[in-house]
């Protein structure tokens, strides 16, 4: 048994490539000696030229000091014969077996130009030896070992040193010096490399395929952790530990070596292959190879899936570019068509129509690009059903469609929300929950805010009680999305009804356009109200009715607070306003605001509806058809400017702002 020494991977069982002198070595006439390749505990290997077949091969011969032992010689011949029986691409072929003129046994075999798996592990990923390449090499090692098992041969010394990777990527399992036939009745030889020896072998139990499976698991341990099992211990301690305890968990070992966390499938395979209980290990080397190939196949499928995701991203970029171009063309079309009257001849509209047609073409192309985008993402999921990149891409697409559908109040919103919930991995959870927030300050503060939610009952939206939001000032108080009625109860103030609408993740803050802080909502005193109703300031949506062909585009607008009469303004009240203007010396303004009959000729004013008395006061008089007006009738036939002037006069008179 060889001893353990410190190295990049802390085990070594052979002197590595020390030059050996050929003094006194006489080869058969068929071979020319080309120099040493290396030596081990039992033999040395030299490069030779086969004169008969004109090729360079390797010749292994017993060392002089070992050749005198008949048992060693017999074991050396068994190694040659066992290896020769295993004609597999992953096992070095044996060409010849014989004796040198000095009587020592030799055999020749193919020379493998390359490096051992141990060398590859030492070089690391920077030299191109990625986890995938290393696992692929181990998978092919499993195939060679499985072939040997199928032919009744155990290797019994599997380790990274004995796995060679050729210059062209071929993988060879070498050094079958400890190999045994299954069921060999000869005494068990306790030989090998301690970190890779199965615990039952150390305990003297019979060897079997499970013994090599343990060693293959230990090789995988090296690949994942960067160190061998039981790293850092002397040989005698390794033997004792291996008999009694499993090695450090491969995940912890990798972390201690500052290596990436091993994939779960491979870490689990290490645990099972190196299990103390033989029943827990993979059934054989072939089964272990199948599991490694399955992991590699998963990587290959993931690569193809990521290619699909890349193509989907490119289609998304194309679609976005096309939609920007379509919007620009549409704006150009509107600029060209806006000054053209609807009755103008077609020739005046052709340039605008052409841009509209090009905008439509861009939108159709964008739609097709989005279809291709979604198809590629679904193709990725067909390869890797839980691929995060594909799910995230679909979720982002679904969210964009959902936002568009909700903005236009399309019934498709239900479908897009269901798709988003199916594809979301958590990034859109807050968006899907949809909670908004309310900031509300009042003057005076300390008002209680009761909640009423608008719900559809008998095709009407009615407010239903929903608890209390809190006491003002309220800052970013959480509230589910939807239509709400806030009933604000201030100290010694009548309740103020404050309707709001919260979209997904909206923040209703009451900040007026051009300002950065919310203004307090003034709660009027009871004496201020009389017959008036306060309408608080805030945002509202106008337009965007999908069922109306004449609807304006949907816009979010700000409304300053105001008071509105519970009942219409009467003739008596409006005459009092006009008389007040006259008394204040604002005769012309009073005449401009007075109600008039419609003029028959455009650009002229019609006759006054009200009459005037001797003192210049406005009075009621029969209209042109003889109908009599009354003071408690609603005032009619006034202009927009007249209505605004009355509202300003009334607010000033009653002290309302």
Please identify every residue annotated as catalytic: 157
> How many Å apart are CA 549 and CA 276, to the nearest integer?
78
CB-based burial, 414-440: b 16+ in 10 Å, e otherwise: eebbebbeebbeeebeebeebebbbbb
What tokens were used for 203? Answer: 């305990």
3-class SS at 220?
Answer: helix
In angstroms, what CA-CA distances link 267 with 220, 254, 314, 591?
A: 9, 10, 36, 93
> How many Å apart are CA 390 and CA 378, to the nearest integer?
7
Task: Using the structure block, give the residue that is written with the tokens 């739609």.
Answer: 367
352 — phi, psi (to 5°)?
A: -65, -40
Peptide bond preceding 444: is omega within 30 degrees of 0, i.e. cis? yes
**DSSP secondary structure code for residue 126 in this structure:** G
> How many Å apart are CA 436 and CA 155, to the nearest integer?
68
Give helix then strand counts, H and E, for the chain: 18, 25
CB atoms near residue 598 (< 10 Å)? 8
Give the helix/strand (H/E) hosting 306. helix 285-337
> How many Å apart are CA 380 and CA 375, to the nearest integer?
9
> How many Å apart are CA 178 and CA 161, to the nearest integer?
14
Please classify residue 84 by burial: count the beta carbons closer than 10 Å to its beta carbon, then call 0-12 exposed, 13-18 middle and 19+ buried.
middle
> What beta strand segments (E) does 134-227 contain?
153-154, 163-166, 171-173, 180-181
Residue 449 in contact with residue 469, Cβ under 8 Å?
yes
């Amino acid at each position: 048994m060889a001893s353990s020494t410190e190295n990049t991977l802390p085990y070594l069982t052979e002197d590595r490539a020390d030059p050996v002198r050929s003094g006194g070595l006489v080869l058969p006439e068929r071979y020319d000696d080309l120099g040493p390749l290396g030596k081990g505990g039992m033999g040395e290997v030299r490069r030779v030229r086969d004169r008969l077949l004109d090729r360079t091969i390797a010749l292994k011969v017993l060392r002089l000091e070992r050749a005198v032992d008949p048992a060693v010689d017999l074991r050396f011949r068994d190694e040659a014969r066992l290896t020769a029986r295993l004609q597999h691409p992953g096992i070095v072929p044996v060409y010849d077996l014989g004796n040198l003129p000095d009587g020592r046994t030799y055999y020749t075999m193919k020379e493998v130009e390359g490096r051992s798996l141990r060398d590859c592990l030492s070089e690391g990923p920077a030299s191109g030896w990625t986890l995938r390449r290393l696992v692929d090499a181990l998978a092919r090692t499993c195939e060679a070992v499985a072939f040997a098992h199928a032919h009744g041969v155990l290797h019994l010394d599997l380790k990274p040193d004995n796995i060679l990777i050729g210059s062209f990527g071929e993988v060879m399992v070498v050094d079958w010096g400890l190999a045994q036939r299954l069921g060999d009745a000869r005494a068990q030889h306790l030989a090998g490399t301690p970190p890779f020896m199965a615990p039952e072998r150390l305990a003297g139990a019979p060897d079997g395929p499970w013994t090599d499976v343990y060693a293959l698991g230990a090789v995988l341990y090296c690949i994942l952790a960067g160190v061998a099992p039981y790293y850092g211990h002397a040989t005698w301690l390794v033997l004792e530990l291996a008999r009694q305890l499993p090695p450090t968990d491969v995940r912890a070992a990798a972390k201690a070596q500052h290596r990436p966390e091993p994939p779960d499938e491979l870490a689990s395979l290490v645990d099972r292959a190196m299990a103390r209980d033989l029943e827990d290990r993979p059934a054989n080397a072939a089964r272990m190879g199948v599991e490694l190939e399955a992991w590699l196949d998963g990587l290959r499928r993931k690569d193809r899936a990521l290619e699909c995701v890349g193509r989907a991203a490119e289609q998304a970029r194309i679609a976005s570019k096309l939609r920007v171009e379509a919007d620009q063309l549409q704006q150009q079309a509107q600029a060209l068509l806006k000054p053209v009257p609807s009755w103008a001849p077609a020739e005046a509209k052709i340039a605008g129509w052409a841009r509209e047609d090009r905008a439509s073409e861009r939108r159709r192309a964008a739609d097709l690009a989005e279809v291709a985008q979604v198809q590629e993402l679904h193709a990725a999921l067909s390869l890797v059903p839980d691929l995060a990149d594909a799910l995230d891409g679909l979720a982002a697409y679904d969210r964009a469609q959902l936002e568009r559908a909700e903005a236009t109040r399309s019934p498709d919103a239900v479908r897009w929300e269901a798709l988003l919930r199916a594809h979301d991995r958590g990034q859109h959870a807050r968006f899907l929950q949809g909670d908004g927030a309310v900031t509300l300050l009042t003057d005076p503060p300390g008002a209680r805010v009761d909640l009423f939610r608008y719900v559809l009952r008998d095709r009407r939206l009615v407010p239903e009680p929903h608890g209390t939001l809190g006491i003002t000032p309220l800052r970013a108080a959480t509230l589910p999305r939807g239509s709400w009625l806030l009933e604000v109860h201030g100290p010694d103030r009548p309740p103020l009804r404050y309707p709001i609408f919260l979209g997904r993740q909206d923040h209703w803050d009451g900040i007026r356009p051009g300002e950065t802080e919310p203004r307090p909502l003034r709660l009027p005193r009871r004496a201020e109200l009389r017959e008036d109703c306060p309408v608080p300031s805030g945002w509202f949506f106008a337009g965007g009715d999908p069922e109306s062909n004449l609807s304006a585009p949907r816009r979010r607008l700000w409304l300053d607070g105001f008071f509105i009469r519970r009942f219409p303004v009467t003739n008596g009240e409006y005459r009092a306003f006009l008389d007040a203007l006259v008394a204040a010396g604002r005769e012309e303004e009073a005449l401009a605001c007075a109600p008039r009959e419609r003029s028959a000729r455009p650009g002229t004013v019609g006759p006054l509806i009200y009459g005037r008395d001797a003192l210049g006061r406005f009075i009621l008089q029969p209209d042109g058809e003889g109908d009599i007006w009354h003071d408690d009738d609603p005032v009619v036939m006034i202009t927009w400017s007249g209505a605004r002037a009355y509202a300003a006069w009334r607010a000033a008179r009653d002290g309302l702002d």
